Amino acid sequence: MRTVRTQVAIVGAGPAGLVLAHLLHLDGVRSVVLERRDRAYVEGRVRAGLLEQGTADLLRDTGVGRRMDREGQVHEGFELRFDGERHRLSTAELCGRTVTMYGQQEVVKDLIRARTEAGAPPYFGVDDIAVGDLTGDAATLRCTLGGQPAVVRADFVAGCDGFHGVTRRSVSAGRLTAYERTYPFAWLGVLAAAPPAGEELIYAVHERGFALHSMRSPTVSRLYLQVAPDEDLARWPDDRIRAELRTRLCPAGEPLHEGPLSRHGITSMRGFVVEPMQYGRLFLAGDAAHIVPPTAAKGLNLAVSDAVVLAGALAAWYARGDRGPLDGYTRTCLRHVWRAQDFSASLTRLFHPYPGEDAMEARLRRARLRRLVGSGAAATSFAEEYTGLARDPAAARRGAGA
Ligand code: RFL
Ligand code: PHB
């Protein structure tokens, strides 16, 4: 039996786990990252693409932002279409903040590269982790590493293994409370090998359903359509997807570049939070602890925020024996988690016609949209939430003295 001894065992090589490992390394704390999938899978998974300014700044500040600065696109605003009208909201003018479009899998590649260059690459293909007692003198994980049975002993376990991971489920029954909401629709997402229709994102609210025109690069667009929650992808041949995108995004015949579609997927819409986000030696971060519907693009950004809080708390423990920040981990994170849940829920309600929505509700939604584009105060508040002004992981890390 092989034994691996480390300070922090990190389960999952998504954004939460990899940012945490990177920051701990910079803080002189040893960790190992254990990932169920192989490297190609993790680096190829197409998911989020919008980095709040604080997330982009954190990557920059900590030395993993060079490719993002070369290849990512900084956006100073976005377009909102409804009732055949086009409105631009400038987040830069409203609150002085921008967002950066750069694919989640590119962030993941940059972080894996940094771990590899630091001599501590993640272990991939570790698909049988069993979490032992979390309340004793040390935490123990059993798994197979490189074909050999292994025990990983650590002071702490970071559960960064996403919503379907093993760490949250390893906590004894009754210790965690889950809050959950599912939405009566889903998003069908595709990549298009076509230049984006414009320089900024387009959010289109249409009576047939919501549509989003996003992007990953000057030659790759990312498109989403609201569909039924149990939608069958087989019912959506590419011609139907294109026609529906044109109807919802371009009601006045606005341009939309077309190209081959790939990476078709259905993303369910769910809000989920578990409280507390810690138990004994286990600390949950990112999707393992909370899920937001993708409407406001908060999932990845929240995962990075959690990782910054946890890295700071672990560094305080190892550097000064200060247990306070670890004890307060849940409280610190939940403030921004619930803020983002609320913004994501209200944006989801604002942008999507619910199945069976009546004429009254449709008009109330339109009145809210009108207020957003017609009131400086409403637009500024929206821009602050959208760009994550109040939850800036780069500022949090600088503030923690790192
Ligand atoms: P991740 O990225 O899910 O990473 C978790 C990692 O843990 C691994 N894992 C395990 N490893 C070892 N042992 C086990 N038993 C394990 N079980 C799982 C997984 O293989 C994986 O590598 O979580 P993290 O790091 O918390 O990051 C969160 C973000 O990934 C997530 O919030 C966003 O991508 C959510 N999300 C989206 N967010 C947006 O802001 N905009 C989007 O367009 C968007 N699209 C999406 C999404 C999430 C999706 N999911 C969860 C299915 C599209 C999809 C399809
Ligand atoms: C995306 O590009 O995946 C994306 C962008 C903005 C959103 C949601 C998703 O609000």
Consecutive sets of 10 residues in the chain, 402 residues long: mean pLDDT of each?
96 98 98 98 93 97 98 97 96 97 97 97 97 95 94 98 97 94 97 94 97 95 97 97 96 89 96 98 98 97 98 97 98 97 97 96 96 97 95 89 54
Closest CA to 139 of 300, 286, 228, 9: 9
Q: What is the pLDDT of residue 401?
A: 58
Distance CA 187, CA 183 (A): 11
List the Cα angle 108/14/326 in 5-degree steps. 120
Question: Is any atom of ligand 1 closer than 6 Å to the C-beta of 300?
Answer: yes
Which uninterrupted H or E stretch holds 178?
Answer: strand 177-192
Question: In the numeric block, which tokens belong to residue 312?
Answer: 């700071």
Distance CA 228, CA 185 (A): 5
Question: Is any atom of ligand 2 closer than 6 Å to the C-beta of 296?
Answer: yes
CA-closest residue to ligand 1 atom 52 = 267
Q: What is the pLDDT of residue 251?
A: 87
Closest ligand to Cα 263:
1
DSSP letters spanning 54-71: HHHHHHHHTT--HHHHHH
- Is 109 noted as a catalytic residue in this protein? no
Mutation to probe ligand 2, out of 45, 202, 212, 220 (largest number of atoms < 8 A from CB): 212
Question: In the numeric block, which tokens belong to residue 112?
Answer: 């894996």
- Is 325 noted as a catalytic residue in this protein? no
- Cα(168) to centroid of ligand 1, in Å? 14
CA-closest residue to ligand 2 atom 8 = 297
Closest CA to 281 of 140, 134, 133, 170: 134
- Cα(207) to centroid of ligand 1, in Å? 30
Atom of ligand 1 nearest to the CA of 285: 26
> How far from chain centre, in Å, is Cα 343?
14
CB 124 within 8 A of CB 37: yes
Q: What is the pLDDT of residue 312?
A: 97
Q: What is the pLDDT of residue 129?
A: 98
Distance CA 254, CA 299 (A): 30
- Is 386 noted as a catalytic residue in this protein? yes
Closest CA to 107 of 74, 76, 77, 71: 71
Question: Is any atom of ligand 2 closer than 6 Å to the C-beta of 49?
Answer: yes
- Is 294 noted as a catalytic residue in this protein? yes
- Cα(385) to centroid of ligand 2, in Å? 15
Catalytic residue among 22, 206, 290, 298: 298
Closest ligand to Cα 211:
2
Question: In the numeric block, which tokens belong to residue 149?
Answer: 């049975």
Question: Is any atom of ligand 2 closer than 6 Å to the C-beta of 189?
Answer: no
- Cα(165) to centroid of ligand 1, in Å? 10
Q: What is the pLDDT of residue 146?
A: 86
Distance CA 397, CA 58 (A): 8
Question: Is any atom of ligand 1 closer than 6 Å to the C-beta of 325?
Answer: no
Give the HSE-up count for residue 274: Cα atoms under 13 Å, Cβ half-sphere: 23
Closest CA to 213 of 327, 366, 50: 50
Superfamily of domain 2-76+99-181+270-358+391-399: FAD/NAD(P)-binding domain (3.50.50.60)
Question: In the numeric block, which tokens belong to residue 349?
Answer: 């309600």
Closest ligand to Cα 203:
2
